[in-house]
Amino acid sequence: MSTERLFEGPPLTRVDDARFEATVTAVERRAEGVALELDRSLFYPTGGGQPCDLGTLDGLAVRDVLEEGERQLHLVADEGAAGWEVGRPVVGAVDLPRRRDHMQQHSGQHLLSAVLVREHGVATVSFHLGRELCTIDVVADAVAPAVLKDAEARCNAAIQACLPVSVELHQGAAVEDAAQTLRKRPDAKALASERGLRVVQLGDPSAPLDRDACCGTHVGNLGQLGSLVILGSERGRKGHTRIQFAVGERAVAAIRARLDALDEVCLALNTGPADAGERARGLVAQVSEQAKALKRLEQDAARAEATRLAAEGSPWRVHTLAVAGPKALTTFAQTYVSAHPGGSLVLLHAAERTSLVVRRGDAAPEAFDAAQLLRELLEPHHGKGGGSRDFAQGTAPSAAAAAALAAAAEARLGELFG
Ligand SMILES: [Zn+2]
């Protein structure tokens, strides 16, 4: 026997509306708990992008509400329902705040999708109602911020106008006529359903804002949405854009969270919300200029240090650069070699990892091979790199390896040069 779908009735607004009496018509013991079938139910089962209702049956928590074919099953814990049998009368209570939240997000989605396609020709292909985020995917490579703002304003105007939301059920021959009036044509299965075609309409019947086939739960009046806010958009799968939005209490919570984040930024920048963007842009530009100036200074310092050391004319040298980016390392090596072509060099720099350059001087002994020496030095430190007999470079994954690498290089060059 199929369950009478009380959840398709009028919207729930008061706690009393959320209670109902029913009789257990089937009891199934399953691994995940006891699945109960009722003769009638106010619990909306998971479906159509909307999560199920939760609540209680005779005080026992309902963990999940599933639809399996024509059957609707309420999943409860084993322990509580141990003695439950077919024929037991039960009192059900739907968790009203959860249902209200779902009705708001879901009805808000109808409204947003309707406005986007009517005013901007942007069609919705799917809807997701998550615990925190609600999203729709629309057919567009991108949706301009101006379009999103316009759609948001139009949605809130409809909410302020408290436009009615009504539900119709069409049967038999009337199904095809009704289908012609909808925003999106239902699939063949929905059109052939024995239960008929359920149509949700936003706005006055004489000039509806939207008509769509839907089995979900909705508010009775758009005023009950409170407000709708679009939180952002991002590129979805090919040719689609995902738009995030929130309705009702979720909208207020989302705006609150953004205001709190903005307050943090203002506090850090020592400015007010109106100036925060300009102040942040100014700081970013300043930091970028300073980074460029620092790079120039590092290059100059590397050049000066290399010139000074090259003038000493040592046959070989192991040197660790104290402050330098990777570019200064190359500058140092190039300056050193051109000033002192005969001198061999092992150059190190430790930052997040240790960078290493080995250069064979023209006056080095035959046995000196830069690439081979680099491999020997890096091998115990699991480093990577390579090069030729004259020049090689590589890195060791840790900065801590620098001291050991420098000591090993000193010892090896000492041997090579006798
Ligand atoms: Zn709906």
Q: What is the DSSP string of 140-179?
A: SS---HHHHHHHHHHHHHHHHTT-BEEEEEE-TTHHHHHH
Among candidate residues 19, 196, 161, the one with its CA nearest the CA of residue 99: 19
The secondary structure of residue 50, as a DSSP letter, is B
Q: Quick one: pLDDT band at residue 25, thresholds 50, 70, 90?
A: very high
All CATH 3.30.980.10 domain ranges of the chain, comma separated, are 100-268
Among candidate residues 95, 74, 85, the one with its CA nearest the CA of residue 19: 95
Q: Which residue has the higher pLDDT, 198 or 324?
A: 198
CA of 287 to the centre of ligand 1 (A): 50
Distance between start and end Cα atoms, the chain: 97
Distance CA 81, CA 29 (A): 10
CA of 339 to the centre of ligand 1 (A): 78
CA of 144 to the centre of ligand 1 (A): 26
CA of 90 to the centre of ligand 1 (A): 29
Return the percentage of the chain with pLDDT > 90, whole number. Answer: 75
Distance CA 32, CA 6 (A): 26
What's the token pair of residue 275?
A: 């100036």
* Max CA separation in the chain (angstroms): 103
Among candidate residues 88, 94, 97, 76, the one with its CA nearest the CA of residue 6: 94
The CATH T-level fold of domain 100-268 is Threonyl-tRNA Synthetase; Chain A, domain 2 (3.30.980)
Q: Which CATH class is domain 298-416?
A: alpha beta
Our CA angle for 8, 10, 15, nearest 5°, is 110
CA of 171 to the centre of ligand 1 (A): 19
User: What pLDDT is recorded for position 143?
Assistant: 96
CA of 396 to the centre of ligand 1 (A): 59
User: What pLDDT is recorded for position 10?
Assistant: 87
CA of 11 to the centre of ligand 1 (A): 12
CA of 54 to the centre of ligand 1 (A): 18
**Mean pLDDT of the residues in the chain:** 93
Distance CA 395, CA 348 (A): 9
Q: Could you tell me if residue 199 is left (phi over 0), alpha (psi between -120 and 50 degrees) or otherwise beta?
A: beta
CA of 268 to the centre of ligand 1 (A): 44
Which protein residues have a CB closer than 5 Å to ligand 1 (ion)?
214, 216
The pTM is what?
A: 0.76
CA of 201 to the centre of ligand 1 (A): 9
Is residue 109 predicted with pLDDT exceeding 80? yes
Give yes or no for a contact between 210 and 111, defined as CB atoms under 8 angstroms apart. Answer: yes
All CATH 3.10.310.40 domain ranges of the chain, comma separated, are 298-416
Q: Quick one: pLDDT band at residue 1, thresholds 50, 70, 90?
A: low
User: What pLDDT is recorded for position 212?
Assistant: 92
359, containing H or E segment: strand 354-359
Q: What is the pLDDT of residues 333-392, one digit of tens each?
A: 999 999 999 999 999 998 889 999 999 999 999 999 999 999 999 999 999 999 999 999
CA of 128 to the centre of ligand 1 (A): 12
CATH number of the 4-94 domain: 2.40.30.130
All CATH 2.40.30.130 domain ranges of the chain, comma separated, are 4-94
CA distances from 222 to 48, 225, 409 (A): 20, 6, 76
CA of 281 to the centre of ligand 1 (A): 43
Q: Which residue has the higher pLDDT, 46 or 54?
A: 54
CA of 108 to the centre of ligand 1 (A): 9
